[in-house]
Structure 1
Amino acid sequence: MNNLENETKQWLGLPLNLLWGYVAIALFMTGDGFELAFLSKYITDLGFTEAQSSSAFAVYGFAAALAAWISGVFAEIVTPRKAMLAGFVMWCVFHVLFLVFGLGGKNYFFIMLFYGIRGFAYPLFLYSFIVMIVQNVKSTQISPSMGWFWTTYSVGIGVFGSFIPSLTIPAMGEMGTLWLALAFCFAGGLVALVMLRNVNSYSPMHGLSRQQKFSELSRAITLLVTNRNILFSSWVRIINTLSLFGFAVIMPMMFTKELGFTTSQWLQIWTVFFATTLVSNVFWGIVGEKLGWIKVVRWFGCIGMALSTLSFYYIPQYYNTIAEAGVNGAGTAEFMVAWIPAILLGWFVAAFVPMTAIFTTLEPKHQGAAISVYNLSAGLSNFLAPAIATVLLPYFSFIGVVYAYTALYLFAFAVTYFIKVKQPGFDT
């Protein structure tokens, strides 16, 4: 993959030549994010069990992991823009099938089938744009550029993706809201197709034979064996977003069924979490270049997420107990207190932003394959988070899942000491 050595016009680390790509990501992930904070509860409201709901998310996450794995090299083979087109079309088609035959028909088989297949779609659209970023900025600009990438991702999947449903669900219901999601994803795909057509989006592997292309695709797995630093980095990236994807599944049930919040209140709390990442993603992307990638990931990512994961459970539970005892009253106060752990989680989850720069620096000659491993790790996080919840919920309830995530963040903290990466401008 080519790293451009010419200066790219930027604004606070944002590459301006890719501005419309960031807009497309925000729009597309808004539609994709509509379901994130309420679908698990809606599936149980249709008559399915909590374990069945978690299983649907686990299947979706597994499909997303597979798509994430191939997306980096696939985008190099066919160009990032064409890979984004494939993801866009697949998402729209299988979202309609999921709504009509799965949720609409209350058919668990079709829920698993079409929701699972749709899981292949968003990683192709989302992660192929990472390849476009790496192709169009200098290596020293990747971390802040990725900070903006995750910020626009959060604008979509988290802020608008959570806040808009909090308004539309009371007005048009869950199914109406899920149909509205299609409009946002269609708009995002259209922006990407039209506005990125002149952006440098080449295919360095176009001239390779089919065997050579498959060989490069397989490198996305063999790197985990041949490069120990990539393996350890993969573990850390998997753990990175466990609470994000896991809490989206279990916390709607805990907040609404145990703590008495409404679905709209929960969605607004989840919006606060993602709104925080609008600042924190850019902040940690820039700080990582100044303080050091590994230091930021180790101390603010791993330790910060371990503490904020615990706080997301204990602070609402503790304050809710006090309110019920009559020491404090109003539901408004409980609602505001729940913002505290949401802000903490949003601040520290972004401290893993430098991981993209770590992966591409560890494999400068095979950056597409390195990005595929990064994407695979992100997808596995999407799969493992609800899978852990599925296994532990029946035996240990919500607190067991929270403790499991916390322990894994502490494990990731230890793993960072084994990652050896030479950051430009640092002696490591």
Structure 2
Amino acid sequence: MSEVSIPARPFAHNEVIPVSSRLPRSLIFGYAAIALFMTGDGFELTFLARYLVDLGYTPVDAALAFSVYGFVAAIAAWCSGVIAEMFGARRVMVVAGIAWLVLQVVLLSVGLNSGSLPLILLIYGARAAAYPMFIYSFVVLIAQTVDRSRLATAMGWYWAAYSLGIGVLGTYLPSWLLPVLGEQLTLWLALPWVASGVLLAAWSARRYGGTAQTAQTAPTGTEPASRLRELARGATILVENRPILILAVVRVICNLTLFGFPVIMPLYLSTTTYDGVGVLAVTQWMQLWGLMFAVTIVTNVLWGRIGDRFGWMRQMRWYGCVGCAVATLSFYYLPQWTGPNMWALSAAAVLLAVAVSAFVPMGAVFPALAPGHTGAAVSAHNLAAGVSTFLGPAIAMVLLPIAGIGGVCWAYAVLYLIGAGLTVFVRPDQPGIRSRRPVPATASASASASASASA
């Protein structure tokens, strides 16, 4: 099996941390590549559902397209961690990026012009496999190179780059281009952004020797059967490690609104379909969503540092889960109470940004719960993230005809509160939290072994 060893020495609470231990400089270009790639990938996010309805499809059809996309993304996300370890993050990122570009061209030139929903689902679903392979291969690189006591900080910067791409540039740029160019031309302009991200990822990974050589430096015994066993472990670890299973459920819940709101909110805020209030133009909604992601650029980094200092799970429980429940309902009720008041809706967007970014330590908790199987733990994290991509739109698809948009928002809020309760049962061994003094590596290892035995 290909296993990754993460340095286990925690830092003292007041120790001066070397810059290289905080964030390897070689990762900075990788963060930029993530931002560029996700800018292009995010171009369609806030208006594709509305565009499909304008093309003659139903809102349920639009939700189905996002659900199929999320289902395929979930499978790809599950595979991505182990595949990146086996074949090298650089190679996986480049292949995934090229696949995205090719399938985007097919979608725009054939799929959307065909009038065939099954064909759109086939092409759009196939493209969904590319983005998790690209971005989560980089997560494996982070886990391989960053000290465990600083993983939440590194993941905070990762999610900041992600937010800058998919949420800020990937939302504001289309909101300005859409009224001028229309939907089709706007979607075509996603291509150069993704291509730039792929080229930068290939160049930066080549500069960083460990990235390009991951597959070559992996232990022997990586024949096909061994590779399949390692890949399967990304799922079986959910059965073998109960804390990881519980945390995976929380991971699924934490991003429901990020992938569900782009399906329902354009309909809710700019139409009267399914109890919509119709108080904003589509471009106003896009800018509102962009504001939310713009705030997360800052809060992702802040929450990463706060989580490393004061505790991962406490932060995710109260500020993440409970905060997202409140923010979700605020998005639904404020337009009814205030009408087309962008200030009130902006406040809801900021609240959601602060809450959803409180989950940034999630990427650090998974490896901490299975220190001997980092690749499998990261794959379990990625699988849960992919399921969230699927489940957010799927809940909308099922509940829209039954309970309307209000029912969908309440379902999200209740699930967030359930997630808050589940976090009580996850107790990772976090360096520097139980004691303000440096903890010897042997003691940390003993604590991890004890936690595994009790699970």
TM over 0.5: yes
Please list, as runs of the form range in 1=range in 2, the aligned pairs for 1:295-374 lying within 5 A after superposition: 295-320=314-339, 331=340, 334-374=341-381
Query: 2:8·2:149 contact (CA, 8 Å) conserved in 1?
Result: no
Residues 227-250 of structure 1 show CA distances to partners (whole Å, capped at 9, x for unaligned) of 000000000000010011100110
**Residue 86 of structure 1: CA displacement?**
1.8
Specify the code of the residue in structure 1 equivalent to 2:289: W
Aligned pair partner of 1:75 in 78, 84, 87: 84
Counterpart in 2 of 1:243?
257
Counterpart in 2 of 1:31?
40
Residues 108-142 of structure 1 show CA distances to partners (whole Å, capped at 9, x for unaligned) of 12110000000000000010000111111111121
Please list, as runs of the form range in 1=range in 2, the aligned pairs for 1:85-124 lying within 5 A after superposition: 85-124=94-133
State the number of aligned residues: 416
Query: 1:296·1:351 contact (CA, 8 Å) conserved in 2?
Result: yes
Please list, as runs of the form range in 1=range in 2, the aligned pairs for 1:39-50 lying within 5 A after superposition: 39-50=48-59
Counterpart in 2 of 1:256?
270
Distance in 2 (CA, whole Å) between partners of 1:319 and 1:154 is: 28
Pick which of 128-137 and 196-205 moved more.
196-205
Distance in 1 (CA, whole Å) between partners of 2:39 and 2:168 is: 8
Counterpart in 1 of 2:431?
424
Q: 1:165 to 1:35 in 2, by over 3 A?
A: same
Distance in 2 (CA, whole Å) between partners of 1:149 and 1:266 is: 25
Query: 2:22·2:147 contact (CA, 8 Å) conserved in 1?
Result: no
Counterpart in 1 of 2:296?
277
Query: 1:239·1:381 contact (CA, 8 Å) conserved in 2?
Result: yes
Distance in 2 (CA, whole Å) between partners of 1:230 and 1:63 is: 22
**Residue 99 of structure 1: CA displacement?**
1.0
Counterpart in 2 of 1:217?
231
Please list, as runs of the form range in 1=range in 2, the aligned pairs for 1:393-404 lying within 5 A after superposition: 393-404=400-411
**Residue 52 of structure 1: CA displacement?**
0.4
Distance in 1 (CA, whole Å) between partners of 2:219 and 2:417 is: 40
Structure 2 spans left out of the alignment, 5+ residues: 12-16, 272-276, 435-446, 448-455
Distance in 2 (CA, whole Å) between partners of 1:265 and 1:276 is: 17
Counterpart in 1 of 2:6?
3
Counterpart in 2 of 1:327?
none
Please list, as runs of the form range in 1=range in 2, the aligned pairs for 1:61-210 lying within 5 A after superposition: 61-199=70-208, 200-201=210-211, 202-203=214-215, 204-205=218-219, 207-210=221-224
Residues 76-98 of structure 1 show CA distances to partners (whole Å, capped at 9, x for unaligned) of 00011111112101111111111
1:289 equivalent in alignment to 2:313 = no
Distance in 1 (CA, whole Å) between partners of 2:254 and 2:283 is: 27
RMSD: 1.7
Normalising by structure 2, we get a TM-score of 0.89
Distance in 2 (CA, whole Å) between partners of 1:255 and 1:224 is: 39
Specify the code of the residue in structure 2 equivalent to 1:27: L
**Residue 290 of structure 1: CA displacement?**
1.1
Q: 1:47 to 1:206 in 2, by over 3 A?
A: farther
How many percent of aligned residue pairs carry the same amino acid?
Answer: 45
Normalising by structure 1, we get a TM-score of 0.94
Aligned pair partner of 1:407 in 406, 414, 417: 414
Query: 1:31·1:185 contact (CA, 8 Å) conserved in 2?
Result: yes
Divergent runs of 4+, >4 A: 4-9, 11-14
**Residue 261 of structure 1: CA displacement?**
1.1
